[in-house]
Amino acid sequence: MICWKQGKRIQRPDETFSGRDCTGLNKMKKRSLIRSIQFIVLIFLLSVELPASQVIDRMFFTGVSISYHDRVGHLSFSDGSEQDIARNEIPSVGLLVGKRFALPWKLRLHVPVNLDYGSAREEPEESFDGVKKSSLFHFGLVPVLQLPLRLNSESAFYLSFGSGLHLVRFTENTIDDFMYFQTCSSVSLTGGAGFEVMTAKNRAVTVQYTLRYGKPVHYKYMKWDLFPYKGLDYKETIFTHSIQFIVMVYKSYRPL
């Protein structure tokens, strides 16, 4: 028990320092330990010598892509049920341009801007909405982290993983000669692998494969003769397989 007299704290003979006092002391020790660890980590990060980046890790690039969009449609009904709709795959061709940035620990950031266009014929008799042709125009920013696995000073394999932001203009032509179009935004997950080789002191070429997962198409389907009271939510899950052929250049060559 603790009592107070004339503004001074007095300890009774039967009182022991336990409970709240010991808990406070332990918290102070933990804070001190955490600060010490943070200080040690900071000193380590400031003092460690990071590996020098290669010229190939800091190049500008441009290229072409050939892609194959594997699609699955999803209809969501008002009662909460869903139905998967088979959709034909869409092949596309595209352009990409961007830059690489060297990062610590042998990593690098690969930042491409992608433009793609593709179309495919549908089977109207198998389609719930009588679509005979689907097409898409895609704009995307897809930064990825790359881990090079160098074979020698001039060539390397690499693995990549990242996420992207996308804007898709999706168009459908029906057997009734109507055209429906939607502009949708989405995010994606991307992974891949590639091979690169230096062809000169400041030039290189790359071939890479990427797999992208996302749901870039989503809109409310309205057709009064089939669904007179409420439109249906329609979405598409798309797995995009892409082969990219890339040429890279560096503005100047300096031995590192």
Q: Where are the domains of the chain?
A: 2-47, 55-249
**Which CATH class name applies to 55-249?**
mainly beta
User: Which pTM was predicted?
Assistant: 0.69
More reliable by pLDDT, 177 or 188 = 188
Name the residue among 237, 142, 250 with its Cα closest to residue 184: 237
Residue 62 has pLDDT above 90, yes or no: yes
- Please provide the average confidence, as pLDDT, over all residues in the chain: 76
Q: Please compute the mean of the pLDDT values over residues 172-177 and round it to a whole number.
A: 74
More reliable by pLDDT, 58 or 6 = 58
In sequence order, which residues have a C-beta less than 8 Å from that of residue 213 and are 6 or more positions away?
A: 188, 189, 190, 237, 238, 239, 240
Tell me the pLDDT tens digit for each residue of 132-164.
788 889 999 999 999 998 888 788 899 999 999
Q: What is the pLDDT of residue 11?
A: 44
Residue 72 has pLDDT above 70, yes or no: yes
Q: Please compute the mean of the pLDDT values over residues 82-96 and round it to a whole number.
A: 86
User: Residue 90 and residue 42: Cα distance in Å, rounded?
Assistant: 50
Residue 46 has pLDDT above 70, yes or no: no
